[in-house]
Amino acid sequence: MSFRTVVLGPKVYETAAEFDPIRWLDKALISLCSRFGDFQKDSPPTFSLSARLSIFPQFMFHLRRSQFVQVFNNSPDETAYFRLILNRENVTNSVVMIQPSLISYSFHARPEPALLDVAAIAADRILLLDSYFTVVIFHGATIAQWRKAGYHNQPEHLAFAQLLQAPHDDADAIVKDRFSVPRLVICDQHGSQARFLLAKLNPSATYNSDAPLSGGDVLFTDDVSFEVFMDHLQRLAVQ
């Protein structure tokens, strides 16, 4: 039987070739929740975690979907590079690699953090995604139409010009201070480059689920959402 080295976080595991990192992560998470969760046996609705651990399953959900575990569509060299950078960087940068930050810009509020969910997409909103290796500026459908019409070049629409410029200024600051330099992607809703954002979002609305809110979006994926992931985790943890 052939063997290979699998790198996950700070530890190196020498295992058989058929090692499945996703299954290993799932078993470790179920074991942790069974040990530290508060629940009544065989009753998933009673399951809960302490405040210190409450967001850990969400972090693991994004780790399972990250380029460190999912090697599809990445060359072996790319996968090795991603894992090398993960082990080299500090905790703050490593967290951003696994669970990217998402900032929302709109006329109605100051820039604010948004949930890493497809529900964050809106026609009148701009999103700034920082996944460490890629920085994405995503324009909602209405914002993109106004920009293409040139409204930001008209003096009476100064507020719109400022709204368009704000995420670019923040993205430039991120790119300037980071090494290696991340890829900057500027895209519009329903455009081909929007995939760089959509691939990182929780697929709470997909092609086979309920319709999204007006102006929102859906993900064409068979990946389970975080809500489904948590339902299965709770059911297995209380057994």
Tens digits of residue pLDDT in 15-26: 555 778 899 999
Pairing of strands 134-139, 126-130: antiparallel
Cβ contacts of residue 125 below 8 Å, gap of 6+? 104, 105, 106, 140, 143
Fill in the amino acid letter for 49.
L
Residues of the chain with CATH 3.40.20.10: 100-222
pLDDT at 207 over 90: no
48 vs 206: CA distance, rounded Å: 27
Sheet containing 126-130: order of strands: 112-113, 101-105, 126-130, 134-139, 183-188
Do you know the residue count of the chain? 239
- In this predicted structure, which of 11-20, 88-97, 120-129, 199-208 has the lowest mean pLDDT? 11-20
Dihedral angle over CA of 211, 208, 220, 141, nearest 10:
-10
The DSSP element (H or E) to which 43 belongs, if any, is: strand 43-48
216 vs 127: CA distance, rounded Å: 13
Predicted model pTM: 0.86
What mean pLDDT is reported for the chain? 89
Instruction: Give the class (CATH, top level) of 1-95+224-239.
Output: mainly alpha
Percentage of residues in the chain having pLDDT higher than 70: 89
> In CATH, what is the architecture of 100-222?
3-Layer(aba) Sandwich (3.40)
Fill in the amino acid letter for 222.
D
100 vs 159: CA distance, rounded Å: 28
| pLDDT mean over 35-50 | 94
Return the pLDDT at 219.
77
pLDDT at 12 over 70: no
Return the pLDDT at 2.
44
205 φ/ψ angles, rounded to the nearest 5 degrees = -130, 115
101: preceding bond cis by omega (within 30 degrees): no
Return the pLDDT at 223.
85
pLDDT tens for 109-146 read 899 999 999 999 999 999 999 999 999 999 999 999 99
Q: Place 3 in a pLDDT band, splitting at 50, 70 and 90.
A: very low
Residues of the chain with CATH 1.20.120.730: 1-95+224-239
> Per the structure block, which two tokens stand in for 199?
């691939």
Whether residue 184 contacts residue 175, with contact meaning beta carbons closer than 8 Å, is answered with yes
